[in-house]
Amino acid sequence: MDQWERVKRSFGDTGDERNSELQLIIRDAPDSQYYDEEEGMVKLTKADVRQVFEPAVAEVIALVVQQNETIKTVGKKLDRLVLVGGFGESAYLYSRLKKWCQTRGIQAYCPEYPQAAIVRGAALRGLIGIAPRTKRCRRHYGCAIAFPFREGVDPPSDAIKLPLSTIKHCKNRMLWMIKKGDVISEDTTGSHKITYTQEVKATDKTWTMRLYSSEADDAPQRTSSQSIDQVGTVTVDMGAIKTSTYKEKRGGMFSRDKFQKIPMEIEVNFGAKSGVLGVRALCDGQVAGAAELTFD
């Protein structure tokens, strides 16, 4: 059977016309063009082997024809055929199918290891739906906000004065919502409270929250770090949010402009299974802005 398997694998439709041999001792079999009595070899011509193959090959082609007709009935077109499985290693079968495909404008392929392709496919099919329950985040993810200024630590160029605040703040400081190495699952969520200062008479009440990531081991503190990449934005529209319940105050002793301090919540949801990070900006439970981005 091992010898016959080698004959099957090596048999093709063109090329070598030599006979194939199988060692098989047959008692009382006379020496002839089909059998070498002295060596105990059965001699098979190419026509003999083709005759063995032909019924199975014809059946395979008939099944492909049937499949092709079925595909046409739903308005689709067969454009390629991939030969896999143990019989897929047959050069003769591949040759016959390739000829059939060429006359119909169909591409035929045969992978390097067609029999192994079936085993690998079965293994992959069995693994569908089996995903890691938890992962470790490979990067830091967060957004930039203004923090209270730290003398001697924060650069003076980043110092800003916010309306309705009596202290100096530092812009472009990072609020990391999740850090590198943190364990995340499909249900991992995070919530961070911030305060947004809004001018009451402003006609455009939208603002952009930029999302950043970094693969540095130590999370950078400022957006100016070379290890930080911008990975997305969240456009927040406060015009659609009811803010009339928040007090209005003048921006300063000599300012006539009125501002509101509006508490907000930045909510993040890491879908470990889908690989999508969802970010929402909430005000009193109302969504003012949202975005999704693919995370590593």
User: pLDDT, tens digit, for every residue of 59-86?
Assistant: 999 999 999 999 999 888 999 999 998 8
CB neighbourhood size of 73 (10 A): 7
pTM of the complete model beyond 0.85: no
pLDDT digits (tens, 9 = 90+) for 258-277: 898 899 999 888 764 566 77
* pLDDT at res. 170: 93
Show the low-confidence residues of the chain (pLDDT under 50).
Answer: 272
Q: Are 142 and 211 in contact (CB under 8 A)?
A: yes
Amino acid identity of 146? A
Q: Where are the domains of the chain?
A: 2-127, 134-294
* pLDDT at res. 25: 85
Please tell me the class of the 134-294 domain.
mainly beta
* pLDDT at res. 274: 60
pLDDT digits (tens, 9 = 90+) for 80-126: 999 998 888 888 899 999 999 999 999 999 988 888 888 888 888 88
Helix (H) or strand (E) holding 98: helix 91-102
Rounded distance, CA 87 to CA 61, Å? 13
Q: Are 147 and 170 in contact (CB under 8 A)?
A: yes
**Burial class of residue 197 (count of CB atoms within 10 Å of its CB; 0-12, 13-18, 19+):** middle
Backbone angles phi, psi at 237, to 5 degrees: -110, 100
Contacts with 130 (C-beta within 8 Å, 6 or more apart), sequence order: none
Long-range contacts of range 249-258, CB-CB < 8 Å, 24 or more positions apart? 249/164, 251/163, 251/164, 251/199, 252/163, 255/163, 257/163, 257/199, 257/200, 257/201, 258/199, 258/200, 258/201
Rounded distance, CA 213 to CA 228, Å? 6
Rounded distance, CA 115 to CA 5, Å? 14
